[in-house]
Chain A
Amino acid sequence: MTTKLFGEPVRRREDARLIVGKGRYLDDIGSNALAAAFVRSPHAHARVVDIDVDGALEVEGLVAIYTYEDLHGPMAEPLPVLIPHPQLHAPRTGYPLANGEVNHVGEPVVMVVATDRYVAEDVCDRIVVTYEELPVVVGVDAARSATHAVHAEIPDNVAARHHQETGDVEPALAASPHTLSFTQYIERSACMPMEGKGVHARWDDADSSLRVYSSTQASTSVRAAIAAKLELSLDKVEVIAPDVGGGFGVKINHPWPEELMVPLAAIALQAEVKWSEDRREHFISSAHERQQRQEITVGYDDDGRITALDVHIWHDNGAYTPYGIIVPIVTATQLVGPYVLPVYRVIVESVYTNTVIVTPYRGAGRPQGCYAMERTMDRIADALGLDRALVRERNLIRPDQFPYDHHLTFQDGRPVIYDSGDYPGLLDKLKALVGWSAAEELRAAAAERGKLLGVGMAMYVEGTGPGPYEGGHVQVLGSGKVLVSTGLTSQGQGHETVFAQIVASELGVPIEDIEVTTGDTRRFGYAVGTFASRAAVMSGNAIALAARGVREKALRIAADVLEVDPGDLEIDNGVVQVKGTPGASMPLRTVAVVSNPLRYAFDEAAKQATQFARPGSDDKPPVAVGDAPGLEHVDYYSPIRSTFASGAHAAIVEIDPATWEIDVVKYAVVHDCGNVVNPMIVEGQVHGGVAQGVGGALYERMVYDKDGQLQNASFMDFLMPYASEVPDIDIDHQQTPSPLNALGIKGAGEAGVIPGTAAIASAIEDAVGRRIASMPISPTELYDLMRNDDSELTAACARRSGTGAMA
């Protein structure tokens, strides 16, 4: 048996329970709890004139009804602006229940608590809310025009004007041999985890304590928010993220109104109360992401090298800004990708609309930034008649330029300094993997079959593992069991496995002896959360440091007992032994026992640690000054700045010129996330990300009508990929370790989704010879584009006989 498991495709430890139906998701908890349901606004923008509950009071099983009038103190104030920023000059957040005005369909107005969910919804149906409708703003262009205002006191609808620049862009553009300008759009999608949000709360009146389960990505911060809003001492609140059925970002925003209202009811009613979000609620009251209008001007030379880039983006942030301007900042700073940009200016105006709030969805602004930069590369190549890969190659940061400082400020408030990478290496591998040089032959072969074939690519750099910190606790018990915990949460990424692999490798114990707990404030109170591809980087390194602390202590104690030098000891398979000397050893579990001097022997093992059994000097206290009982260690990892992963994707599409159906026939991924803890899990992350990337490029779009009604708020109408829509994915790896952390790892969670829209847009454009400037694109939209005499032909199309003519 080996304990050197770092880098191995270890099978997941969480699967044992999940494949037999023994997972414990939010709605599996509290089968006897009272159920909460919400009356939500049917209007996108309205004043709440009256709430009449009289008709609901007779419903058998009704327990309580709450409106804004029932909220007091901090609960009557707006929800927090989680991430304040000086450029967020007009932040707005909603209330736990609407305070006189609603700003999107789905905003909670009334909470009902009843004996079960069916009854609670009966009650909701009988509550009559009278609204006075107000003008509605839908979409970035309507927000920009500011004919109407979402919030009356913000007449231009602008929440923030985020601005960064690395030089004087206007003279640089004026001095450029060539410039081109264009405008493009990207639409709204959403995380859509298979499990919606949910909250279960129970109040122990005798103990004055609250336990909350929430399907969240940030249990420690939910705990702090509940304590603050409900005016409870932090030590009287515990929050646990149980098994969570996917997150992808939407569960990082908090506190959701329900995360406050359900505990409020549990305390008031002295009962268990639970709310499980249904699918329609998730569509209209959780969060979306991605809609932007991008205006881009680029200067470049005859070789296609960029001389200056000027980007102005309008970002739709929905009705409120609880998550600050993180998505705009990420777009602005990650847009630069793997390229040298001598002068760069970016302005992102974050605007209000009467739609569901916008908070991070896997990629969190990066797919939009990648779409802006990569489509710029394609346009330069097209204008100069150069190969798209060659133009990229000429602009890449070279391996000898690291650390590379972009002179920008990232979402963590730290500089965008790339720590390591090999971008030409990525591009070479990608070209080989997808068969880039054979594209014309493939195109000709497809034409023989009456199909239009196109190839596209996109590269990205992803800042992962932002701080401020995560922590880890490792404890060896007298039984030999090793308890590991971190406050960061899990939503299916396999943390129980990868953190156990790290501890097995660092400590030299069998993985079977290790138990990992995440996202439970009872076990670890200090944490930030799971987002920005940070779990392996942040908690992985913190846990590694904690394991090293345990190892050092174990060696010290064992050295005392064995009367050897700690440097002569090693831990192998759970046994501390003298290197190269068989027999001179003690099991780690025995070290754990003697690490805790005892007065009382409660079992056989404990006898070894009692006062008359334990050797020791009469001149020293049983626990040395500065030492502590127990074989455990807590440590934290707080990085100086983010570590930057990278990758390159290519897509080959085939388009049927009769139906304009777009088929992704090949998808290639080259991925670099530094050292890999578990390659099986990393590949799984890439697969899932690519599926979401393909969905975002071709299928998924939140369709609002002009009244702010979401027209496709169901799985029938919002088209997420089934197996039939996801192409086979070829993956190649490159590993450039991060110099910033002990394990040399970079994040992997979001990478798969980032370049999908850009690469597929590029491939479609290559196939049809018409400019693709709005994504996602459906067969109908492509048909319309091909039939529109005004649609722009690419220069490549004009050079290549036949392609454009197939319209």
Chain B
Amino acid sequence: MNVDTERTITLTVNGIPREATVPVRRLLSDALRHDLGLTGTHVGCEHGVCGACTVLVDGEPMRSCLLLAVQLDGASVTTVEGLARDDHRGGQVLHPVQEAFRECHALQCGFCTPGFLTTIAAGLEKRDNSAELTEEEVDDMVGGNLCRCTGYANIKKAVHTANAAMRDGS
């Protein structure tokens, strides 16, 4: 390893400690996709505008195309692959946002979807879901991500559906 151009980093991804030796210039998005094989995180613009590459870093939504992998040494990252939790029988229980996206037809091509799912999951988990979810809150939550297929109506509907499910389930 050339220490001038490469570093070995350890980070927790979807609850699992991972180690990777990456060039110092490697974007987090590329490291997740190509070094760790987590291709659910998509890259739509590479300049932080579309939000498709959004992952949760220590619980906060961040654009993985604007972060270098070496910045994440020691951090905890959740990607779309980590939103569902394992059940007791070797299967998975979807996150309410994932369920709501399917129920509300909130995706078409699915390319931007991982960024919406991580962003909304973080947004809904952070809020007190006994409080009424306003349209303004929903607009804020989804307003930084681009989707070219859906026109957003069903994405906004899915946020309400997921919020209701989390409220009723919590």
Contacts and interface: CB of A to CB of B under 8 A. Distances in A.
Interface of A: 11-12, 14-16, 18-25, 27-28, 31, 116, 118, 191-195, 243-246, 248, 278-279, 491-494, 680-681, 683-684, 687-692, 714-716, 720-724, 726, 728-729, 752
Contacts of B80: 19-21
A194 B147 contact: yes
A720 to B, nearest CB: 6
Interface in B98-123: 98, 101-103, 105, 107-114, 117
A11 B103 CA distance: 7
Interface in B29-74: 33-34, 37-47, 49-50, 52
Contact of B40 (A21, A494, A714): A21
Contacts of A18: 107, 110, 113
Contact of A20 (B23, B44, B45, B81): B81
A499 to B, nearest CB: 16
Given A18-B113, A194-B111, A726 B98 contact: no
Contacts of A728: 153
A118 B25 contact: yes
5 closest pairs, A vs B, by CB? Answer: A21-B40, A492-B109, A245-B111, A18-B110, A687-B151
Contact of A193 (B105, B111, B145, B155): B111
Given A19-B107, A20-B94, 19 more contacts: A12-B105, A16-B102, A21-B38, A31-B34, A118-B26, A194-B42, A194-B109, A194-B148, A278-B46, A494-B108, A684-B150, A684-B154, A688-B150, A689-B151, A691-B152, A715-B44, A721-B152, A722-B152, A724-B143
B2 to A, nearest CB: 10
Contacts of B145: 722-723
A680 B108 CA distance: 11
Q: Looking at B23, B43, B83, B117, which has the most chain A CB atoms within 10 Å of its CB?
A: B43
A47 B34 CA distance: 38
A21 B41 contact: yes
A211 B67 CA distance: 34
B40 A23 contact: yes
B154 A194 contact: no
B94 A19 contact: yes
B146 interface: yes
B102 A12 contact: yes
Nearest to B37: A31
A493 B108 contact: yes
Interface centre among B26, B111, B147 (most CB of A within 10 A): B111
Contacts, number: 168
5 contacts: A15-B107, A20-B80, A194-B147, A689-B151, A716-B47
B28 interface: no
A246 B148 contact: yes
A21 B94 CA distance: 12
Nearest to A247: B109
A723 B103 contact: no
Given A18-B113, A31-B37, A723-B156, A246 B49 contact: no
A244 B102 contact: no
Contacts of A25: 39, 42, 111
A684 B150 CA distance: 6
Which of B42, B147, B153, B155 is the most central at the interface, judged by chain A CB atoms within 10 Å of its CB? B153
A550 to B, nearest CB: 29
A238 B111 CA distance: 24
Contacts of A278: 46
A776 B23 CA distance: 44
Nearest to B115: A194
Nearest to A694: B151
Contacts of A491: 109
Which of A21, A23, A31 has its CB near the most chain B CB atoms (within 10 A)?
Answer: A21
B118 to A, nearest CB: 10
Nearest to A196: B44
B77 interface: no
A722 B144 contact: yes
B166 interface: no
Interface string B2-16: 000000000000000
A394 B109 CA distance: 41
A194 B52 contact: yes
A691 B33 contact: no
A770 B111 CA distance: 41
B124 interface: no
Nearest to A278: B46
A691 B102 CA distance: 21
Contacts of B81: 20-22
Nearest to B25: A118
B79 interface: yes
Contact of A194 (B23, B84, B94, B112): B112
B39 to A, nearest CB: 4
Contacts of A691: 150-152
A387 B122 CA distance: 50
A723 B25 CA distance: 33
B153 A11 contact: no
B155 A723 contact: yes
Contact of A21 (B39, B43, B102, B151): B39
B108 A20 contact: no
Contacts of B151: 687-691, 726, 729, 752
Nearest to A22: B40
Nearest to A362: B148
Contacts of B148: 191-194, 246, 248, 688, 692, 720
B126 to A, nearest CB: 19
Given A18-B107, A19-B98, A194-B50, A687 B150 contact: yes
Nearest to A693: B151
A20 B154 contact: no
Contacts of B40: 20-23
B21 interface: no
